[in-house]
Amino acid sequence: MNEVKKSLFAGVAVAIAAGMVFVGSAARDRIDLGQRYADNSPLAGQTLLATRDNSQEVPEGDYFYEMSELLKREYVEPITDPQKLATGAVRGMVGSLGDPDSIYMDKDEFAIFQNQRNGLYEGIGADLDLDLAGGPKTKPGEKKSVHGVQPTGEDPQEAASYFPRVPKVTVVAIAPGGPADKAGVKVGDVAYSIDDHWVMNGPELQKFRLAQLAFGAKKLSLPELNVLRKDMRAKLERALMPLKAKNRLETGKSGGMTVIWLRNGQKVSTQLSRGTAQMSIASPKGYVLKFDSKAATGLKQAIAGKTEVTIDLRNNSQGDYSAMRECLAVVAPTGNYGVLQSDRKDKPEPLLVSKGNAHPPTITLVVDRSTRKVAEIFALALSSHFRAKIVGGPTGDDRVVQEVVPLPDGSGYTLNVGTYKTSATPTTVAVKGGSRIE
Amino acid sequence: MNKALKAITVGAGLAACFAFGYGWRDIQHGQAPSARSISALLGVSSSSTSLSPEQVFKQNYNRILTTYTRQLSPTDLKYAGMEGLLASLGDPHTIFMPPKAAEEFHDETMANFFGVGARLGPDQLGAKVAVVFEDGPAYTAGLRAGNIITAVDGKSVVGKDIDTIVRTIKGKEGTYVHLTVIQTGKDKPAAITVRRGRIITPTVTGKYLEDTKVGFLSIESFSEPTAAQFDKELAKLEQHDMRGLVIDLRENPGGLLETAKDLLSRFVENKVVVTMRFRDGQEETERTYGGSLHNFKYPIVILMNEDSASAAEIFAGALKDYGKVTLVGNHSYGKASVQNVFTLVDQASAKITIARYYLPSGRFIGRKVDEDGVFLTGGLEPDVKVDLSFDVEPTYGDPKSDSQLRKALDVITGGAPR
């Protein structure tokens, strides 16, 4: 064996050895993390390994395992379903975010949510949102205790002490011909009570708290406070947490309910019968675009050979972010259309169209308050870059991007991964688009 | 021969490299690979189709940590997962406590912490001293109930939240805190320096009600020193002419079963306190001790409400079953289970329901609620039901404003006009 051969051999041996180290490490990843979830992350480029350098006292997997074993040994009843423990842990983590755009849903709720994404509604036939407007939403860098009381939790008494973060259950889209539509419910209505169950309401809790403080400062008499106290106690005894109220309105195909809504500060009572309804537009003013897996193909056909296209984006409050990106590539040239901002990244993730349509038709978008989430992002991305004219409006002002994560037992959750910001200046939008989108 | 040896050496070398790669994550964490991860390697092909609960947890933990819009603390997220894990059992008393909460819980049960030995309430000028514990450091230093603390260590606390003020006053044993205090009758604020020490919080307070000649004992919780404090306060009351005793268990969340047993031994000897039923059907019975019997020569009434729970319900329920007391007020909470606190390596702890308990009469008083969490059944039923009236701002223990206490006094005095 000459020297060249020897060094070659040594090189190969080292490469094989290194290869085995890598294979071993990969095998461990596979075992620890299971099969990688399908990468539908809008913030693509993240890998699971990103968390490997977190030094923790007890690795989370071992912690979970030890805790499950402790329960199996000690809990008063036998643990029959260990998967339930995992789902419970996920629910706990999602709940700890205290974010109305990151919500855990049990099996039934998640099935209803998936149907809604396909346009099929039950309950009152409307899309409801947990709206924290006016409250402290997700301020960048805000340090929140994950152990604090969650506004979407189960205990009304505890939530009462947490009023600023109680979201409003707000109607954001109504299925034409559905129960809510028939009963005269309007977009923007806020659920105040359902069958005499008061829906937890931040401003009212705050008012009561202020009255208590006024009494403490001797600015309010005891009889006056007692009137409020009696009223608040009666309300709290039959209070519905916002998330529960939302579920109650969105669930069920039969039976009636009385719902009182807040509309422009006035209480409006409605009689509703549950049923099924299709989310659509009563009289569409153009091509109806739904951001699902077939959206891009359909849009391509719709614009084929045309120089002018009108797209109706009303009643469009649920959609898939990656489907929207594909649609953007169909009607917009290659370029940068804004950013997804989150406070966890040094650099926001750009909304890029890498293989766009160099010669798109002139596009008009029809929007209103029921144009939300990815539909709103689509409208804003196009209009702020002079790629579309906006008709109607203003839009729903909700540009949060959510991931939808299914879990093995049929439940699932949404995860807020960022908020869309246009790279153009708001003034330009207003002038060009002629609507108050920003 | 030589060839075979070479092949074995090469094979072993490759295996070693694989093992190194496999264990790399553990080496990064500065620990040896666990036996569990090694056994998982051997079973890798069979477990890859469906995810184990642990894998489901880890996947989602990683996803939330890396993709959520806000930066999260990995430790806090892990703890939130553990809270959810225990909550998934649907038992409100099986809970996870992160290290800080675990420490507070421990302090509460032990009823001793380090501080100055005073209880504070909010005040426009800072904090108003509500109670100064007898023989505590604050008492020795001259702090009295009614004083108003306006500054701590030279810094004004005017307009500060009461919890914040308490936190600044608390501290390590042996250190000093300087308080600026307004005392009635003095025109200048006084400077009081208190040496922080170990505090034993009083859980029992006694009060002799002159008008009715009835003793009033309020038990705040069943902590370590409660039985001794009960004896001390009772002895003070019994120096008076006593026609009856009211034991106030309202808002008493319970505490240690041992303390309830200890206290019950003043009333009954060698009697069943509770029967606990564990997961394997095994039963365990707790009995009162002999030799601690106290001679109560007067009728006893227990005041309770929906916030009387756990050890408080065992105490009241056992006394009721043995015909020693009359229960007055509202139904109690209905917590009929026993928890054990498991301390974990990182000082977090898990409080886990390990048994259900039955009162001496065999009754089970577990709370039942409807889907909205509204109370349906459970708890101890009062013999005389009476709501607390809010017509005047009620102060517990004051017969003038405490309507439930008034009813209790009526029961003792036979409803005779006072």
pLDDT digits (tens, 9 = 90+) for A336-386: 999 888 887 667 888 999 888 898 999 999 999 999 999 999 999 999 888
> Which chain A residue is nearest to residue B121, measuring alpha carbons?
A216
Residue A330: strand, helix, or coil: helix
Give the pLDDT score at B24.
63
Give the pLDDT score at A208.
86
Chosen for mutation from B50, B67, B103 (greatest number of chain A CBs closer than 10 Å) is: B67
| Cα B304 off chain centre by | 18
Q: Given an 8 Å threshold on Cβ–Cβ distance, is A229 in contact with B28?
A: no
Q: For the stretch A313-328, what's the b/e string if a residue is b when 16 or more beta carbons lie within 10 angstroms of its beta carbon? A: bbbbbbbbbbbbbbbb
Comparing A209-213, B180-184, B324-328, the range with the smallest average pLDDT is A209-213
Comparing A22-31, A424-433, B106-115, B224-233, the range with the smallest average pLDDT is A424-433
- Distance between the two ends of chain A, CA-based, in angstroms? 75
Nearest-10 crossing angle of helices A321-331, A373-384: 30
Over residues B137-143, the mean pLDDT reads 91
Give the pLDDT score at B264.
97
Give the pLDDT score at B110.
66
pLDDT in tens, B336-391: 988 888 988 888 999 999 999 999 999 999 988 765 566 888 999 999 999 999 88
H or E stretch at B362 = none
Asked if A37 is an interface residue toward chain B (Cβ–Cβ < 8 A), one would say yes
Interface of B with A in 23-82 (CB under 8 A): 23-25, 28-29, 34, 36-37, 40-41, 44, 47-48, 50-82
**Choice between B160 and B251, residue whose per-residue pLDDT is larger:** B251
Q: What's the rounded Cα separation, in Å, for the pair A420 and A337?
A: 10
Q: What's the rounded Cα separation, in Å, for the pair B273 and B294?
A: 17
> In this structure, how many other beta carbons lie within 10 angstroms of the beta carbon of residue A119?
16
Ranges under pLDDT 50 in chain A: 33-56, 134-163, 426-438
Q: Given an 8 Å threshold on Cβ–Cβ distance, is A62 in contact with B53?
A: no
Q: What's the rounded Cα separation, in Å, for the pair B280 and B354?
A: 10
Q: What's the rounded Cα separation, in Å, for the pair A166 and A100?
A: 9
Q: What's the rounded Cα separation, in Å, for the pair B255 and B312?
A: 8
ipTM exceeding 0.90, yes/no:
no
Over residues B326-337, the mean pLDDT reads 94
Q: What's the rounded Cα separation, in Å, for the pair B418 and B412?
A: 11
Q: Which residues of B are less than 8 Å from A31 in CB distance?
A: 37, 40-41, 44, 47
Site of tokens 């997804």: A340
> Which chain B residue is nearest to residue A223, measuring alpha carbons?
B391
Q: Given an 8 Å threshold on Cβ–Cβ distance, is B70 in contact with A342?
A: yes
pLDDT in tens, B35-74: 555 555 554 444 445 889 999 999 999 999 999 999 999 9
pTM of full prediction above 0.90: no
Structure tokens at B291: 């030799």
Give the pLDDT score at A1.
57
Radius of gyration for chain A, computed over Cα atoms and rounded to the nearest angstrom: 26
Asked if B340 is an interface residue toward chain A (Cβ–Cβ < 8 A), one would say yes
Nearest CB among A19, A82, A238 relative to B374 is that of A238
